[in-house]
Structure 1
Amino acid sequence: MGWQKTFTLNRRPKGCHLVTEEVLTHIRPGLEGVKIGMLYLFIQHTSAALTINENYDPDMDMALDKIVPESLDWVHTDEGHEVSHTKTSLMGTSICVPITDGRLNLGTWQGIYLTEFRHAPHQRRVVATVL
């Protein structure tokens, strides 16, 4: 049997934000009683992404800005989010985490990050599926 919930993360400005605890507040009911399973998280946006990284990494946003700088000669400028869309494609819109005995089986230093690529703070919808 599967479990699914769509929830909204708090507004955050551009940057990489550790959201593990916020995600857990929304998905705890879906973890209950799961001996062995998988959590799939999917963000329903094209200018933000989800990733797993060290639960303290202040340099990730700077590195992404170096890889995909706003100063490139962008052709798609209608929405003004071409940098964001490119970073989202590189980072990805989904992650999966094993579940063991009702808990996320992350590594000791791993955490779930929202990587927000737009400068203005936005709320972001995430679909969580437990199988």
Structure 2
Amino acid sequence: MAWQKTFTLSKRAKGCHLVTDEILNNIRPGIENVKIGMLYLFIQHTSAALTVNENFDKDVRKDMDMALDIIVPENLNWLHTDEGPDVSHTKASLVGSSIAVPITDGRLNLGTWQGIYLAEFRHIPHSRHIVATILYDLFAIICSFTNIRCSDI
């Protein structure tokens, strides 16, 4: 079975931003009854990215942004300059446009210190559209609601 929703993340300045709670607020109806499944998140933009990283120490966000600025510096002779020298597309390709997170018992099965990040590479804040797709085993859901042990069937 599958569930899908497209939603918009609020505008954010350039940098790496923890968005786990905002994503959960948008997908809660899709995951609350999922016993075992996968959440796939895809960002519909070429100048921002999604990633999973540590969610406790705020310095990690600054470190991520700093490292990407070193790897992909703005002061190169960029050919794509429609909106000024634009490193955002290269950074977005390096980080990635999608992530997959397991769902277990109606919750995202992230590690203790893991969170979902939006990496915004534009200097001017933009709204970002996310497609959330949840794939799950309907058989496991039926078993959990009927108290039937799936292994007995």
Structure 2 length-normalised TM: 0.83
Q: Please state whether the residue corresponding to 2:5 is helix, strand or coil.
A: strand
Aligned-residue CA RMSD in angstroms?
Answer: 1.0
User: In 1, are the aligned partners of 2:39 and 2:103 still within 8 Å (CA)?
Assistant: yes
Deviation digits for residues 6-53 of structure 1 (CA, Å, limit 9, x no counterpart)? 000011010000000000000000002111100000000000000000
How many angstroms apart in 1 are the aligned matches of 2:15 and 2:80?
22
User: In 2, are the aligned partners of 1:81 and 1:118 still within 8 Å (CA)?
Assistant: no
User: In 1, are the aligned partners of 2:44 and 2:128 still within 8 Å (CA)?
Assistant: yes
Matched residue type, 1:62:
M
Greater C-alpha Rg: 2
* Aligned twin of 2:80: 76
* Aligned twin of 1:115: 119
Q: CA deviation at 1:99?
A: 0.4
Q: CA deviation at 1:78?
A: 2.7
Q: Please state whether the residue corresponding to 2:76 is helix, strand or coil.
A: coil
Q: CA deviation at 1:81?
A: 5.8
Confirm whether residue 59 of structure 1 aligns to residue 71 of structure 2: no
Q: Please state whether the residue corresponding to 1:21 is helix, strand or coil.
A: helix
- What are the ranges of 5 or more consecutive residues in structure 2 without an aligned counterpart? 136-153
* Aligned twin of 2:42: 42
- What are the ranges of 5 or more consecutive residues in structure 1 without an aligned counterpart? none
Deviation digits for residues 57-97 of structure 1 (CA, Å, limit 9, x no counterpart)? 13111111011000012122234363000000000000000
Q: 2:105 aligns with which of 101, 106, 125?
A: 101
How many angstroms apart in 2 are the aligned matches of 1:74 and 1:25?
38
How many angstroms apart in 2 are the aligned matches of 1:11 and 1:77?
22
Structure 1 length-normalised TM: 0.96
Query: How do 1:82-97 residues align onto structure 2 when only pairs under 5 Å count?
Result: 82-97=86-101
In the superposition, relative to structure 1, how do residues 21 and 92 fare at CA in structure 2: closer, same or farther (>3 Å)?
same
Matched residue type, 2:88:
S
How many angstroms apart in 1 are the aligned matches of 2:34 and 2:79?
47
Aligned length: 131
Task: Tell me which stretches of 4 or more aligned residues in structure 1 moved more than 4 Å.
Answer: none
